């Protein structure tokens, strides 16, 4: 096959690269214009210029304040007088006092980084000065013997100070005692009229368990009669023990025997007529009694009855502790309720009272 090359094809191939180069040149011109505009805005205007960032100022280094070394003899005296002084360690020595340097005025145009750089060497210099002062101020510690002597001197000083202080306290107490005696002599005792004084009772005195009681009773007959009266008044009653009470008793004496068997035989004879007979052993002898009665009338009537049976009796009085009993008419938490029950019993003729 034969290929033919014409002039038209050659012209079209030459025109294609020419148009491509024209487009590239246009783009370059646009970029140059944009770069120029950006450079003008950046250098000749303040729109894109970055603003300076203010760094926070660092705190100045702490100043070292040196204190004088305390006097050891003065500290020992203070400890003896009762003032608690801090213990001085063997290795810790406080430096001497140094006046702080006045702060220098900072320059207005200087940036904050410069001030921080200047303050750092100052702090180092102050630390070096404190170390030098510590080394120069170190002194040899006292020996144990010197410490013991100092403690003895401090104790003596304390004793000397305490002696006049005690004398002063005794004098002050005596003066105050005299003043109180004079005031007591001057003040007259207040006369309180009976019946007009009102005592304010606290709530605790009003509240609490209150018990209405009657008695004490030594005779069963009188106790049973009062028990019936309490129940008749509409209250619940109960019998409670109340220990032993000493009272005069009437004893019916029969005879006294040295032999126990003889006394027992006579007691057996009395048992056929009364159940109240008993024996009392005292001083190696045995006394036989036909009975012991609280009421004199009862003892006299019993003596007459046994005399008719052939027993010759003698009436003797003796102080004897016998068991007593009380009657309770209820327990109340409120004093008003207890007083209401007390009123009922007194209206019924009973000698009742409140107890806690």
Domain residue extents for the chain: 1-49, 93-100+111-136, 208-355
Identify the residue with better confidence: 115 or 343.
343
Which residues have CB under 8 Å from 233's CB, separation 6+?
Answer: 329, 344, 345, 347, 348
Identify the residue with better confidence: 1 or 260.
260
What average pLDDT does the structure give for the chain? 70
Q: pLDDT per residue over 270-317, tens digit each?
A: 988 988 889 998 888 999 999 988 888 888 999 999 999 888 899 999
Question: Which residue in the block uniquely carries the two structure tokens 């409140």?
Answer: 354
- Contact at 8 Å (CB) between 112 and 55? yes
| Residue 259: its H or E element | none
Q: Is the pLDDT assigned to residue 113 strictly greater than 50?
A: no
Q: How far apart are CA 204 and CA 49, in angstroms?
A: 88
Helices (H), 54-211: 72-80, 112-137, 144-186, 203-206
Alpha-carbon separation of residue 144 from 71, 84, 148, 149 (angstroms): 17, 21, 6, 9
Q: What SS3 state is found at 315?
A: strand
Name the CATH topology of 208-355.
Alpha-Beta Plaits (3.30.70)
* DSSP per-residue codes, 43-91: HHSSSSSPPPP-PPPPPPPPPPPP-PPPPHHHHHHHHHTT---PPPPSS
Per-residue confidence (pLDDT) for residue 78, from 0 to 100: 55
- Contact at 8 Å (CB) between 255 and 266? yes
**First-residue to last-residue Cα distance in the chain:** 148
Q: pLDDT per residue over 225-270, tens digit each?
A: 888 888 888 888 888 888 888 888 899 999 999 899 999 999 999 9
Question: Residue 238's beta-bridge partner residues?
Answer: 328
Q: pLDDT per residue over 148-172, tens digit each?
A: 566 667 766 656 655 555 555 555 5
Per-residue confidence (pLDDT) for residue 74, from 0 to 100: 56
| Residue 25: its H or E element | helix 7-44
Q: What token pair was written down for 329?
A: 């008419």
Identify the residue with better confidence: 268 or 105.
268
Identify the residue with better confidence: 215 or 105.
215
| Degrees to nearest 5, angle at CA 170 with 157 and 158 | 10
Percentage of the chain modeled with pLDDT above 70: 52
- Contact at 8 Å (CB) between 226 and 239? no
């Amino acid at each position: 096959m034969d290929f033919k090359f014409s002039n038209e094809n050659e012209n079209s191939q030459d025109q294609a690269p020419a148009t491509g180069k024209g487009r590239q040149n246009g783009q370059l011109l646009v970029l140059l214009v944009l770069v120029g505009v950006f450079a003008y805005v950046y250098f000749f205007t303040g729109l894109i210029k970055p603003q300076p960032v203010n760094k926070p100022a660092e705190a100045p280094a702490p100043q070292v304040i040196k204190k004088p070394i305390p006097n050891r003899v003065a500290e020992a005296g203070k400890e003896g007088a009762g003032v608690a002084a801090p213990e001085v360690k063997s290795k810790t020595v406080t430096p001497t006092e140094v006046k702080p340097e006045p702060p220098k005025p900072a320059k207005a145009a200087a940036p904050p980084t410069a001030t921080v750089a200047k303050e750092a060497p100052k702090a180092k210099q102050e630390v070096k000065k404190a170390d030098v002062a510590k080394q120069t101020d170190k002194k040899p510690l006292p020996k144990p013997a010197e410490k013991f002597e100092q403690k003895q001197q401090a104790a003596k000083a304390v004793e000397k100070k305490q002696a006049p202080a005690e004398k002063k306290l005794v004098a002050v107490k005596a003066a105050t005692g005299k003043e109180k005696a004079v005031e007591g002599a001057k003040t007259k005792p207040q006369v309180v009229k009976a019946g007009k004084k009102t005592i304010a009772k606290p709530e605790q005195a009003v509240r609490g368990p209150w018990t209405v009681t009657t008695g004490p009773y030594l005779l069963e007959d009188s106790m049973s009669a009062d028990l019936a009266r309490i129940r008749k008044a509409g209250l619940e009653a109960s019998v409670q023990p109340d220990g032993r009470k000493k009272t005069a008793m009437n004893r019916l004496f029969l005879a006294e025997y040295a032999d126990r068997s003889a006394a027992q035989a006579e007691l057996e004879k009395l048992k056929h007529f009364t159940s109240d007979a008993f024996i009392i052993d005292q001083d190696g002898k045995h006394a036989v009694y036909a009975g012991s009665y609280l009421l004199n009338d009862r003892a006299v009537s019993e003596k007459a009855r046994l005399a008719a049976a052939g027993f010759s009796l003698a009436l003797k009085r003796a102080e004897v502790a016998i068991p007593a009993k009380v009657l309770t008419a209820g327990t109340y938490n409120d004093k008003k309720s207890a007083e209401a029950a007390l009123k009922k019993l007194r209206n019924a003729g009973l000698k009742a009272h409140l107890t806690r």
